[in-house]
Structures are given as structure tokens and as C-alpha cells.
């Protein structure tokens, strides 16, 4: 019996000793084994990292085995140094790491600089979200995806998308310090509100062949000139809403639809040409703008009720409105302009400022058709 017990204990000990390593620590970093056969690991939970500077190595050796470091796990350094010393300020990630996990460095409030490696392919959702001091960052070739909220509220001032980048998620660069954005021509998608609320963003290069652009992608930015490529076909809802410096908008031939509130509250926008390819302008697309001249090259363009208004009528009280050719266009009591057929018309409206009571007269010149040279905001009536 004793012999049997001894054999059983010995076998158990051998099995225990031969069990593969799953987690280990080398230096100040914790690792989790992803594949024993491939000898790969990811940097795991290190939220108590004790230094202000971090280097994530290409490889690490433990118990005579050298592992390749291929990823940084979800939440690996989240909130590190957020409330107490030391405060993580610099991260260098060596080549070989392919992905940075969800919220990996989220809310590292004092993080200022990150060096990303060549070959990095994915930055997942919220990876650097809330890193409000992060301004130093490179954009390596090989990067294919930037996830939702990945750099929300960071202080990054310039973003040049590498040629390999395909996807930018929702709210990826939402709110803070962007001044210049250059997007590559072959991107697949830009998420909703991806670059919104960067009022300092004045230099923007849009991708020509992007397949999908989300709602509000560039709303509340400081752009003054925008050219929508004809390859876009549809301009998304709210995409440039509330851009106070926008004065020049070009819609290339090929654009077929403008979404609801796409350029609403762009108060300095005074003129617009709708290309012959335009099929539909949706409700409130140019609400709260100062449009006084619109060229409509295609008289079959459907402009939904409320898409366009008399200039300033949303800020001032409309006193009166009249058209010299009502068979072409009219203005209703709310300042919306309806189009009834091709031709030309002068629309004269009288407005009163709500505080000063000062009145002004605005004249819109409307032309519809292939020979159109100038016009004003119009609105199809059903």
C-alpha cells in the first residue's frame, strides 16, 4: 500500500512539474502565455507598474525559454499612475508586437509620449482613451485598424494615416487638440464622430475612395474649405455640422445625396453649387447657414422640406417674404423656400433682429437648370 501511495504521489509531482507555464513575471512586467508551441506571450495586467517610463520588449526569457511578445492585453496598464506616483509618462513598444488591446492604456492621465512599432496592425477600442496629456505619437506603416474611442480626448495635434490603414472607429479622435488630418485614399471606413469636436482642426485631407463615413465624422471642427469627392456618392448626416469657419464647400460631380443636417449651423457658408449628379438633399441639410446663392444644375434634384432656409431666418423674426416669380419659387412663413419649376426668381425677405429690433432686407437670386449661374436656398414642397 505504501508503495502504491508513493508511486501516486510521484506521478502527481511529475504531472505538476510538466504543466505548461501560463503566467510569469520578468523584471517589472507580467506576461501571459498565448501559445506554448509558438512560444508567444502578451503583456498582461500591469496596472501597478512602478516606473514613469516603460519599454515593452520584443522578446522575454523565462525558465530557459525565450518568448516573442506579440500583444498588449486588454486593460494591461489602464489607470496606471492616474492618482498616485509614479506617473507613467513614456511608453516605447518594440517591434514584433501586433496589437494593443482594448483600454490597454486608458485613463493614463499623465502619459505624454508613445513610440509605436513598425508592424503594429491593430489599436483596439479605448486603447489610449482619456490620456489627456498624450501628444507625442508616430503612425507606423502596417497599422490597419484604430478602434472606437482609441484616442478620445488626447492632445495629439497631427494625424497622417499610414497607407495601410483601413478602419478608423467611432469617436476615435473625438475632442481635443487635432490641427491637421491627412487620410489615405484607400480607407474602408471612418466611424461616427471620429474627428468631431476638434475646433482647432483647420487642415483636412479627405480620402477619395472611402467606402463608408459615419454620421458627424467632422462636426465642430475649424475647417474653412471642404471638397467632397465625387466618389463619395452620399454625404453623411451631420458630417460637417456646426463648423463655424466653413466658407467654401465644393461638391464634385458624382455626389448624389446630402444627408440630414450635413452642413447645418455652418453660419459663414454663403454659396453652394449642387452638381448635376445630385438626386436628393435631406431635411435641414443647410439649416442655420447664410446661403444667399445656390446653383442647382439638375432641376430634378429633390430637396426635402426644411433642407434649406432663407439666410438668418432662424435667428431673426421673419417679417415678410415675396417672390417675383412664384411659379418658380416661394418662401413660407418659417422662411423655408419651395421650388415649383425651372427658371429664375428673386426672393425678397425682411428680417428683424430679436434683441435690437433692427430690420434688414435679404434678396436671394434663384436659378434652376443646366444654365443656372446663381440661386438661393430652395425647398421642394410636396
Average pLDDT over residues 268-283: 92
Domains of the chain, each with CATH number or no CATH = 225-382 (3.80.10)
> Residue 331's pLDDT is what?
80
Length of the chain: 382
Q: What is the pLDDT of residues 64-73, one digit of tens each?
A: 999 999 999 9
Burial profile 190-222: b = 16 or more Cβ within 10 angstroms, e = fewer? bbbbbbbbbbebbebebbbebeebbbbbbbbbb
> Confidence class of residue 375 from pLDDT cuts 50, 70 and 90?
very low
Max mean pLDDT among 13-27, 234-248, 346-360 falls in: 234-248
Q: Which long-range contacts (CB under 8 A, 24 or more apart) does 371-375 make?
A: 372/295, 372/296, 372/297, 373/295, 374/293, 374/294, 374/295, 375/293, 375/294, 375/295, 375/296
Nearest to residue 299, comparing CAs of 279, 283, 282, 285? 279
Q: What is the pLDDT of residues 17-53, one digit of tens each?
A: 445 679 999 999 999 999 999 999 999 999 888 889 9
Q: What is the pLDDT of residues 151-202, one digit of tens each?
A: 999 999 999 999 999 999 999 999 989 999 999 988 999 999 999 999 999 9
Angle (CA) 192-193-199 rounded to 5° is 160
Residue that wins the pLDDT comparison between 334 and 239: 239
How far is residue 163's CA from residue 183's CA, in Å, rounded to a whole number? 9
Q: Cα dist. 132→111, 136, 138 in Å?
A: 8, 12, 17
> Residue 322's pLDDT is what?
87
Q: What's the whole-model pTM score?
A: 0.86
Going by C-beta distance under 8 Å and a sequence separation of 6 or more, which residues neighbour residue 12? none
Q: What is the pLDDT of residues 296-352, one digit of tens each?
A: 888 888 988 888 777 765 567 888 888 888 887 788 877 777 778 888 888 888 888
Find where cell 483647420 sits. Answer: 202
Q: What percent of the chain is predicted at pLDDT more than 70?
A: 89
Q: Residue 8: pLDDT above 60?
A: no
> Residue 82's pLDDT is what?
66
> Confidence class of residue 379 from pLDDT cuts 50, 70 and 90?
very low
Q: Are 278 and 233 in contact (CB under 8 A)?
A: no
> Residue 348's pLDDT is what?
86
> Residue 382's pLDDT is what?
39
Amino acid at each position: 500500500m505504501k508503495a502504491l501511495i508513493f508511486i501516486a504521489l510521484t506521478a502527481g509531482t511529475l504531472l505538476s512539474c510538466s504543466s505548461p507555464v501560463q503566467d510569469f513575471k520578468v523584471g517589472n512586467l507580467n506576461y501571459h502565455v498565448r501559445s506554448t508551441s509558438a512560444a508567444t506571450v502578451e503583456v498582461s495586467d500591469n496596472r501597478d507598474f512602478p516606473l514613469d517610463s516603460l519599454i515593452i520588449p520584443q522578446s522575454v526569457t523565462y525558465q530557459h525559454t525565450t518568448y516573442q511578445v506579440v500583444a498588449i492585453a486588454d486593460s494591461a496598464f489602464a489607470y496606471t499612475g492616474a492618482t498616485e506616483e509614479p506617473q507613467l509618462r513614456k511608453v516605447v513598444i518594440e517591434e514584433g508586437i501586433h496589437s494593443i488591446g482594448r483600454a490597454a492604456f486608458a485613463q493614463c492621465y499623465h502619459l505624454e509620449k508613445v513610440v509605436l512599432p513598425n508592424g503594429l496592425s491593430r489599436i483596439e477600442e479605448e486603447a489610449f482613451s482619456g490620456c489627456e496629456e498624450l501628444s507625442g505619437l508616430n503612425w507606423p506603416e502596417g497599422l490597419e485598424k484604430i478602434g472606437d474611442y482609441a484616442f478620445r480626448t488626447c492632445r495629439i495635434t497631427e494625424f497622417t494615416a499610414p497607407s495601410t490603414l483601413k478602419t478608423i472607429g467611432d469617436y476615435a479622435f473625438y475632442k481635443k487638440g487635432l490641427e491637421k488630418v491627412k487620410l489615405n485614399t484607400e480607407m474602408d471606413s471612418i466611424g461616427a464622430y471620429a474627428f468631431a469636436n476638434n475646433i482647432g482642426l483647420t487642415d483636412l485631407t479627405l480620402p477619395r475612395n472611402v467606402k463608408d463615413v459615419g454620421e458627424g465624422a467632422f462636426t465642430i471642427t475649424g475647417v474653412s474649405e471642404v471638397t467632397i469627392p465625387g466618389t463619395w456618392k452620399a454625404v453623411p448626416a451631420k458630417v460637417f455640422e456646426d463648423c463655424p469657419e466653413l466658407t467654401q464647400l465644393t461638391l464634385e460631380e458624382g455626389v448624389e445625396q446630402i444627408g440630414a443636417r450635413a452642413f447645418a449651423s455652418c453660419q459663414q457658408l454663403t454659396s453652394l453649387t449642387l452638381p448635376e449628379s445630385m438626386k436628393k438633399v435631406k431635411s435641414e441639410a443647410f439649416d442655420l447657414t447664410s446661403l444667399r446663392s445656390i446653383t442647382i444644375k439638375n432641376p430634378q434634384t429633390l430637396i426635402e422640406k426644411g433642407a434649406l432656409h432663407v439666410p438668418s431666418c432662424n435667428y431673426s423674426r421673419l417679417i415678410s417674404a415675396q417672390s417675383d416669380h412664384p411659379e418658380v419659387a416661394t418662401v413660407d412663413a418659417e422662411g423655408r423656400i419651395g421650388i415649383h419649376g425651372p427658371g429664375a426668381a428673386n426672393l425678397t425677405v425682411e428680417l428683424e433682429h430679436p434683441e435690437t429690433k433692427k430690420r434688414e432686407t435679404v434678396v436671394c437670386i434663384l436659378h434652376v437648370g443646366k444654365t443656372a449661374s446663381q440661386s438661393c436656398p430652395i425647398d421642394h414642397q410636396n
